[in-house]
A and B are shown apart, each in its own frame.
Chain A
Amino acid sequence: MKLEARDLAYGYRGHVVGQGANLTLSAGEIVCILGPNGGGKTTLFRTLLGLIAPLGGEVLLEGSSLHRRPRSAIARMLGYVPQAHTGYFPFTVQDVVLMGRTAHLSPFATPLRSDREQAMAAIERVGLATLADSEYTRISGGERQLALIARALAQATPLLVMDEPTASLDFGNQVRVLETVVGLAKEGKGILLSTHDPDQVFLCADRVALVHRGRVTDIGPPQSGLDAGLLRDLYGVEVQVSELDIGGKTRRVCVPVAAQSAISDRE
């Protein structure tokens, strides 16, 4: 199972956001997308999900063009975890997760008992079992994000696209979500996720791609490819990349330098 962008130009009619993008996502790997605000990550994702048509090039899913496939066929292979939002109506967590089963139902059908069981299993997997009957609109932002991940799990797709799944979460929930993501990759799912935090890339990514100034650059494994120079380029601030010894393994971390100097100036 493979999602592939070939020489992709993406954007909206009359407005090219990015072009010449080449990117692949295969089963079992985590690919992180790193880029500044307004860099076009969400537009890229919408194009990769087939929600908007490419302006040039193509998106291939299992080797054939995404945009000519019926939505249900795409949705059985490619799941989407959007950024958590409040929602419009007070659906229960269980209802929201159950909606992930839609692609597996015929057009006029409603979910069966087996669909409900899969939804419940997904809810338990992300640790929300006690909130299954709560209203989705009334749980916290972190719980909502977990519910959306559960929905994608209920959808049972080999590939997942996650748009800043940690953006609105507190520190503990960020780590919890990332642990879930790593666990899913170990089970063989391919995960494409965008983030603002280079440390998260160092923590979980097999490969990292930078989205910046209308270009998508796949720089391979972050441990070797992502350095202070690239990050400075990307975000326009001084950073230092250091190495920490965590449980006998070396992990890279990214620390802003500018803040450090501002602090020392004050002293």
Chain B
Amino acid sequence: MSAAKTSAALALSAVGLVALTVVAFAIGRFPVAPGDFAAVAWAWLSGGTPDVPATVQTVILNVRGPRILAAIVIGAVLAAAGAAYQSLFRNPLVSPDILGVSAGAALGAVLGIFFALDVVFIQALAFACGLAAVATAYFIAARMRGHDPILILVLAGVVIGALLGAGVALIKYLADPYNQLPAITYWLLGSLSAATRADFLSVLPAAAGGMAVLWLLRWRISVLALGDDEAASVGVETGRIRAAVIAAATLMTAAAVSISGVIGWVGLLIPHLARLIVGPDFTRLLPVATLFGAAFMLAVDTVARTAGRIELPLGVLTAVIGTPLFLWLLATARRSWQ
């Protein structure tokens, strides 16, 4: 029954993602006819030259293409990392930034903007600080033996996140209010408007690597949801699997956040939604959540760039869409979860 549901969910979301991609290429300030899109896509795949104006080609290949691919990858990554964390921490209300990765990345990016670094360095700094924040929380928790390892890890993450948040607030206070502060605020709200092909390519290795780890460990991640003692007693090296999952999820989240800025809700909401449909077994949850996340992010980003006269910040949009959706899930979930 669940297997059939999983196949149906996968097939539907795959079709939905493809349809959304076509729509996303077509609409925007510069509309692209589906025929032109098909011609360019075909030429790109076959190596020929398409019979469409150069502007259309530029829009498809250099403007909209990288942005759409970035949205797909970032949505997939955030949802997969969130699903892994929810199983790992045995809590359906956990998101990928529970251990401070977003707070770390935010401080890194904000510092980069404050010191007027080149955009590549801002991204690199965001990525490095995201990893460093989680590593700090992890090692602090590892030093405190004799406690519930999961509780202490989450608390360490929350505390580190709060400290880094104070750092971000300090930089905002010190920043030039006409020049730097808008850039900082813009980054903190999340956006893909500046996503380039290089951005997309720079996230890809970390995203693929992290995904591969989660996929390989999918059964053991499922078993971890039993609790440490029970998972260990059926043969799981709980500490090591947890470390591997945290490393993988942090790597991919940090890479995503470093180009998009902080985007909340996706990593919390999408795994939750996927679990309601296919159940908590991570071997089924991971692929479904990944596809859902990709489709959701692409839809939200398409709305962000087409709905208003100015770009809407992604973080704001995900919250506006996410809150009612999440409340609806909570109201319906009482029946199937509890």
Contacts and interface: CB of A to CB of B under 8 A. Distances in A.
Q: Do A and B come from one complex?
A: yes
Interface of A: 12-14, 46, 49-51, 70-72, 74-76, 78-80, 82, 87-92, 95-96, 99-100, 102-105, 107-111, 133, 135, 137, 151, 155
B234 A151 contact: yes
Interface of B: 1-2, 87, 90-92, 145-146, 216-220, 222-223, 225-230, 232-238, 275, 279-281, 283, 336-338
Contacts of B220: 102, 107
A46 B216 CA distance: 29
Q: Which 4 A-B pairs have the closest CB atoms?
A: A103-B235, A75-B235, A89-B280, A80-B233
B217 A75 contact: no
Contacts of A50: 232
Nearest to B1: A133
A124 B230 CA distance: 22
A75 B234 contact: yes
Given A12-B146, A71-B236, A72-B235, A92 B216 contact: no
B232 A71 contact: yes
A51 B275 contact: no
Contacts of A12: 146
11 contacts: A71-B236, A75-B234, A78-B233, A88-B90, A89-B90, A89-B275, A91-B280, A92-B2, A102-B234, A135-B336, A155-B234
B336 A110 contact: no
Most buried by A among B87, B233, B238: B233
Most buried by A among B92, B216, B223, B283: B223
A102 B235 contact: yes
A104 B234 CA distance: 9
A110 to B, nearest CB: 5
A99 B236 CA distance: 10
Contacts of B223: 99, 102
Contacts of B338: 137
Given A13-B146, A90-B280, A90-B336, A70 B233 contact: no
Nearest to A13: B146
A148 to B, nearest CB: 9
A70 to B, nearest CB: 7
